Chain A
Amino acid sequence: MGLLTPLSALLAVPLAGAIIIMYMLKLRRQDKVVSSVYLWRHQMQDIQANAPFKKLRKSLLLFVQLAILLIAIWAITRPFFQTVGVAGENTVLIIDTSASMKSTDVGRSRFDEAKRMALKSVDSLQEGGSMAVISASARTRTVSSFTPDKKALSDAISSLQPTDSRSSLREALKLALSLSAEKPNPNITVLSDGGFDSIGEIDTKNAEVRFIKIGKNSDNVGIIAFDTRTSDTGEQQIFLSIHNFSDKQQEFNIEISLDGLLVDVIEESLRAGETKQEVLSGLRQNNARVTAKLDLKDDLVSDNTASVYLKQPRRIKVLLVTKGNLFLENALNLDPRTEVSVADEIPSDISEYDISVFDRITPPDNLPPGGYLLIDAYCSDAPASSTDSLSTPSIADWSRSHPAAAFVNFSSVRLEKARKLEVKNWGSRLVEYEGSTIAAAGENERKRFIMLGWELKRSDFPLRVGFPIFITNCIDWLSGSEGEIADTSVLSDQPVTICANGSKTIEVTDPEGRTAVLGVENDFAVYDGIQRVGIYKVKRENTVDEFAANLLSAVESDTTPLENLTIGNSEVVESGGIPIKNEYWRIILILALVLLTFEWYAYHRRLG
């Protein structure tokens, strides 16, 4: 308990003295001579009889008025009692909305507890103080900028929902520091269970960072990996990894479903802290959705289910237009996915082919969408145009990040002759010689190009180990842009690129039935509204596809609450709250009002 403005109490002395002096002054009465006070004797007898009580009543009013004065003075001194809360004078509240906050070890969930504390902190916001609210998940968002408006803050906090994504506290802290840069004595309070990646070094400047731990313990088993792969024989295999984050042995079943139909149940037993992998094989369905579900009750539900899609490796139709190139033809046939058609002339319709390889034959203009490997072949659609001829260029550098150049060593390739390529603005350099581009790549209008500025026969490239690797890389990359969602199963905080396939709009419906209409640009749309794990439906004009969002995060599945926050080399100890001065002058003024009402009543009773 204390007083914020104790010196205000000195006002009591002069004011109380004034009241007492006024009471000491006699009430001025008007003199009235009457014939006789004989008929007034009873009135005055009553008054005289009650004179002691009258004096007492006078004293009572004096006492009440002094009491009202003292109470008012008390209110002016702004008394407070100290509690531990979340909000200080200028506070940025960071609320963790990541998946781990959905754990149910505290109340209904950790997130509800964090919300409750946040709302309570708004109530205890000091006079003259202000608060900002940031939600921290995969995407950091300012829910409310600095405001003293308690209702606006409460509404903003109440509107928050937990997500199934990971959280990035580093981004949230940086945003909080930016918001509070101009505020005096800023306080950043983090309401979290600590389920986030390392923050690293951040200069917190003059801001005081506090960490309020939400959560008691960890009783969770989660799927931390779930993926498919196709074996050489074309068989689909499912890889599943689960971890027991609790401190006790867990026994449960893993239910495997195929397009919603239960196909297998695996009995599982995990010791505390143990990780187990399961490999499921023998599945051959095309495009079927495989769902793994852990049949157990634990703190976090979001990591108990994951889905992936079985993909039959599709056949890649390849057209090779050449006057004859056995090395090239063999390299193309090496890839088991390809169906290679060889022609010495360009067919009238090449749109049926996934990849068209033009070996020293000029492609037509206005190529249809698809993948194109141009070997010493040039056209207006290509990502580069040929300029000068180079004699015996030695390859100096190449783009090691481009998928086509992965695991390929161009340095040992000998070239007799090559064309210098002028790369267009949508193209990229693939192989260079002394600053000149001799191989390029690019993607434009649903067409992907790999362009070599030299004839294969005039180089020893086909004889290099890297050549079939290069061809396989080209097949992979050139075939990847056709009409599919870039990924069929994603982490629950990643944006998803969706090919429009000519549709002007794309509708995405989330697991909770909310539909978002995406704008299409260059025949692609990006959906970044993944907040929940589950199945998302994608509707184009003619087709409906789906993809799955999974948590698959050991950091989020490990719901053990963090004791302290580490920023760089500093540790922020879990504080449990900051001292808050709760003023209660309003209650005191209500008391004064009650006494004032009593004084009015007592005064009128005296007159009556």
Chain B
Amino acid sequence: MAVKARTNEELLTPDFLRKLEQLSFTAKRTFAGKTRGERRSKRHGASVEFADYRNYSPGDDFRRVDWNVYSRLEKLFLKLFIEEEDLNVYILIDASASMDFGNPSKLLYAKRAAAALGQIALSSLDRVGFASLSGGSVRVLPPKRGRGSIFPILDWIGGIESGGTTDLTAALQEFTLRTRRPGVAILISDLFDPDYEKGLLSLLSRRFETSILHILDDEEVRPQLSGDLRLIDSESGEEREVSITSVVLSQYEKDFNDFCGRIDGFSNKYGINCIRTTVSADLESLILTSLRRRGMVK
């Protein structure tokens, strides 16, 4: 079901926008940025912060020779300093058909979260790019920088339409291939893909600092179903007959807990920050409080 185009005001309220300006992403690792930003870069530049030594090579600047080391070792070493550069933040939005469920729909919630995260990145002079994942393919909005970029970003986000199946592996692999500079990747998805782990591993293998915003509908957490039903998968159209009884619901709850537990276990294993929420949860509270508490933003 296509998500209706929403106005920028519906994705983020002005008041929320202002609050988001105070936040910035935290990155555990340093990434090579394109321009000077407000965060540490892996490249060594002319800042005041000492980073490392290297051997002197003819032609290097004598002013950077550490004479204390020379006096001790009688060898010439150059001091390296950390150069502050901008961070690439990639917001990956699962736009498969299964995201178009809930009230409000998970996709809308994901869009709003993506917009919020985008605003945080832009406010802290980071580059933020977006990708819409659906049906195994990726539609990318290249990273943008600067506060003024929020409007095209919101337009792009608002134009995301749901459809297709959830094939995170193919989509994430394609994304990693297309993205040259790694950074912080935040996957916003319901993870209804049995092979999501492969997709995440492909991100990790490209050294993306990966986080997951796991969005679910309340109906998926605790289904209010009963009777003899024919369940139709919104993505594949697959039909399954099931007679809902208390025993069946108990089993579903167990399976759901196993599902979440598996995600948490994988996340813990690979250092992925996984935040789980439902569409009924307040987004502002999620961004301003939960993400902060989890160290994703500061």
Q: Which positions 407-456 of chain A face chain B at CB distance < 8 Å? A: none
Chain A contacts with B in 34-92, Cβ cutoff 8 A: 34-40, 42-44, 46-47
Beta-carbon contact of B227 and A36 below 8 Å? no
Cross-chain contact A43 with B248 (CB below 8 angstroms):
yes
Instruction: Tell which of B112-120, B136-144, B199-207, B252-260 binds the partner.
Output: B252-260
The answer to the question of B35 belonging to the interface, with a C-beta cut-off of 8 Å to chain A, is no
Once the chains bind, are A39 and B243 in contact (CB under 8 Å)? no
- With the chains together, A579 CA to B139 CA distance in Å? 95
Contact B101 A39 (CB under 8 A): no
A24 at the interface (CB under 8 A from B): no
Is the CB–CB distance between A36 and B98 below 8 Å?
yes
Given contacts A35-B98, A36-B192, contact A43 B245 (CB under 8 A): no
Q: Does chain A have a CB within 8 A of B228?
A: yes
Given A27-B228, A39-B220, A43-B248, decide whether A33 and B234 contact each other with a Cβ distance below 8 A: yes
The answer to whether B238 touches A37 (Cβ under 8 A) is: yes
Closest B residue to A26 by beta carbon equals B241
By beta carbon, the residue of chain A nearest B228 is A29
Q: Is the CB of B255 within 8 A of A43?
A: yes
Contact A32 B230 (CB under 8 A): yes
Q: What A residues does B232 contact at CB under 8 A?
A: 31-34, 37
Q: Are A36 and B234 in contact (CB under 8 A)?
A: yes
Q: Contacts A607-B243, A608-B245, A608-B247 given: A30-B192 contact, CB under 8 Å?
A: no
Q: B194 to A38, Cβ gap below 8 A? A: yes
Count, chain A residues at interface, CB 8 A: 21
Chain A residue at minimal CB-CB distance from B99: A35
CA distance A243 to B60 in the complex (A): 160
Given A36-B235, A37-B240, the answer on whether A29 and B245 have CB atoms closer than 8 Å is no
Residues of chain B within 8 A (CB-CB) of A40 are 231, 240, 242, 252
Bin chain B's interface residue count: 35 or more
A559-596 vs B, Cβ < 8 Å mask (1 yes, 0 no): 00000000000000000000000000000000000000
Q: B151 CB to closest chain A CB, in angstroms?
A: 31
Distance A35 CA – B219 CA, assembled complex (angstroms): 9
Q: Is the interface of B mostly helix, strand, loop or mixed?
A: mixed
Which residues 296-341 in A have Cβ within 8 Å of B in the complex?
Answer: none
Interface string of B96-135 (1 = CB under 8 A from A): 0111111000100000000000000000000000000000
Complex Cα–Cα for A27 and B242 (A): 11
Bound form: Cα–Cα A40–B254 in Å:
11
The reply to whether B230 and A39 form a contact with Cβ atoms under 8 Å apart is no
Residues of A within 8 A of B242 (CB): 40, 43-44, 47
Contact among B194, B234, B243 with A34 in the assembled complex (CB-CB below 8 Å): B234
Chain A binding site: helix, strand, loop or mixed by DSSP? Answer: mixed
Among the listed B99, B231, B255, which residue makes an inter-chain contact with A42, where contact means beta carbons less than 8 Å apart? B255
Contact of B228 with A34 in the complex, beta carbons under 8 Å = no
B101 touches A35 (CB 8 A): yes
- Rounded to whole Å, the gap between the CB of A61 and the closest CB of chain B is 14
- Which of A32, A44, A47, A608 touches B225 (beta carbons < 8 Å)? A32
In chain B, positions 206-239 with a C-beta closer than 8 Å to chain A are 217, 219-220, 225, 227-235, 238
Distance in angstroms from A24 CB to nearest chain B CB is 17
Cβ of A30 and Cβ of B240 under 8 Å apart?
no
CB distance from B262 to the nearest CB of A (A): 12
CB–CB B233/A37 < 8 A = yes
Are B233 and A36 closer than 8 Å at their CB atoms? yes
Q: Which residue of B lies closest to A44 (CB)?
A: B240
Q: Complex: how many Å from CA A28 to CA B240?
A: 13
Known: A27-B228, A30-B227. A39 touches B255 (CB 8 A): yes
User: Contact at B243–A36, with CB atoms within 8 Å?
Assistant: no
**B101 CB → nearest A CB, Å:** 4
Alpha-carbon distance A30/B98, docked complex (angstroms): 20
Q: How far is the CA of A46 from the CA of B234 in the complex (A)?
A: 22
In the complex, whether B167 has a CB less than 8 A from a CB of chain A is no
Chain A residues with CB under 8 Å of B190's CB are 35-36
Closest 7 CB pairs of A and B: A35-B101, A36-B192, A35-B98, A36-B98, A29-B230, A38-B192, A44-B240
Q: List 26 A-B contacts (CB under 8 A).
A: A27-B228, A30-B228, A30-B229, A32-B229, A32-B231, A33-B234, A34-B101, A34-B231, A34-B233, A35-B98, A35-B99, A35-B106, A35-B190, A35-B217, A35-B219, A36-B98, A36-B234, A37-B233, A38-B192, A38-B193, A38-B194, A39-B192, A39-B256, A39-B259, A42-B255, A608-B245
| A-B contacts besides A40-B240, A44-B241, 11 pairs, CB < 8 Å | A30-B228, A32-B230, A33-B231, A33-B232, A34-B234, A35-B190, A35-B220, A39-B220, A43-B248, A43-B252, A44-B240
